[in-house]
Amino acid sequence: MPQPTSLASDTPSPSSSTTWTARREARLRPEHAHLYPRAPAGMWEVAAIVVDRIIAARLLGGANLAVQGRVLSDEHFEFRGGADTGARPRREDR
């Protein structure tokens, strides 16, 4: 059975390639790190967790938050894995 890989890894191990693409991951580009003080730059993480962390930081900072569209900008983040069909999963599928 394949061993899980660290999300901090830049590349998946060959034994984990079948499970690696099942989950969408995001990595903050270092040049935009100053915009997201609670998100570590250059580290692959589950995208949903990054979104939760960013929204929580904004709310805790007193922002009046109204989210429309994507929280993670293609300009600020790199993405890998998951289905790239453009359709969002239903809430019960997450």
Note the pLDDT tens digit of each residue in 27-56.
999 999 999 887 889 999 999 999 998 888
* pLDDT bracket for residue 3 (50, 70, 90): very low
Domain ranges of the chain: 14-83
3-state DSSP of 24-71: CEEEECHHHHHHCCCCCECCCEEHHHHHHHHHHHHHHCCCCCCCCCCC
**For residue 61, what pLDDT is reported?**
83
What is the distance between the alpha carbons of residues 6 and 42, in angstroms, rounded to a whole number? 14
Query: 82 versus 69: which is more confidently predicted?
Result: 82
* pLDDT bracket for residue 78 (50, 70, 90): very high
Residues 4-28: b if buried by 16+ CB within 10 A, e if exposed = ebeeeeeebeeeeeeebeeebbbbb
Verdict on whether the full-model pTM lies above 0.75? no
